[in-house]
Amino acid sequence: MLLSYTFAQLGALFQSNPELWKTISLTQLDLFVRLCVAFRVEILLYARLDFTSLDPPTVYFLPDHLLHFLAAMIDVPQSVVQALWKETSHLVWSAIGATDVLTPAERDLVNALDERGFYATAQHLPRYQYSLASTMLMPPVLWCTHCLRPLTSLSRVKVTVFSSSTGYRATKGYSSSLKCKGQHLEFQYH
Ligand SMILES: [Zn+2]
């Protein structure tokens, strides 16, 4: 399901920061929002929020690897990505339950960038933590259901995914596992 926006939503965006909108096209804006929706859990994982809240989260900054990734995908500087995030994060969180927001060609581009080791350009975390593919398998919760602390100790392995949404064509994915610091739980998707 691809996302749709109303003219009112887009009009409000364009009025909010006219200088920003001079630098990007509607096509770039649309792809940016859909990519952020596709990687929503990744954004939350690095934001270390109170995951148990039902309110839409407030995330002021995107993690470094997503800044690199989004800048490459829509072909703008990282400063523009950060400005875009500030203006559009409410649209990203309001797309409740949206899946399959990327086209097959866009998914292939995500995976091609990963093959080049693109996301490892920032150096302060291990390579696997920067890995992004068109399918990201995540634990069902990001917090410990015993002590409610955010789960940490991310580990990530490459997997091959067969899904009805891609016509059962083999596509690339990463499966992530997380642990509670209090050793209450270890969630593994794989
Ligand atoms: Zn715990």
Note down pLDDT in tens along the chain; length 190 residues.
567 777 788 778 888 888 888 889 989 999 999 999 999 989 988 886 655 666 667 888 898 888 989 999 999 999 999 999 999 998 888 876 677 889 989 999 999 888 776 555 555 555 666 789 999 998 888 888 888 888 888 888 889 988 776 677 888 999 998 888 887 766 665 4
Q: Is residue 162 part of a domain?
A: yes
Structural domain boundaries enclosing 15: 7-188
Give the residue from 139, 116, 125, 21 showing the smallest Cα distance to 63: 125
Query: Any idea which residue has 């409740």 for tokens?
Result: 96
Ligand 1 centroid to Cα of residue 186, in Å, is 9
Ligand 1 centroid to Cα of residue 59, in Å, is 23
Ligand 1 centroid to Cα of residue 51, in Å, is 13
Give the residue from 124, 114, 109 showing the smallest Cα distance to 159: 114
Query: Any idea which residue has 């109170």 for tokens?
Result: 50
Ligand 1 centroid to Cα of residue 150, in Å, is 8
Q: Is residue 30 part of a domain?
A: yes
What's the pTM? 0.85
Q: Is residue 28 part of a domain?
A: yes
Contact yes or no for 155/104 (Cβ under 8 A): no
Q: How many CB atoms lie within 10 A of CB 171?
A: 21
Ligand 1 centroid to Cα of residue 24, in Å, is 44
Q: Is residue 1 part of a domain?
A: no
Q: How many CB atoms lie within 10 A of CB 145?
A: 13
Tell me the torsion sign for CA atoms 21, 26, 27, 29. Answer: positive
Ligand 1 centroid to Cα of residue 143, in Å, is 8
Ligand 1 centroid to Cα of residue 182, in Å, is 5
Q: Is residue 2 part of a domain?
A: no
**What pLDDT does 190 receive?**
46
Domain count, the chain: 1
Q: Is residue 101 part of a domain?
A: yes
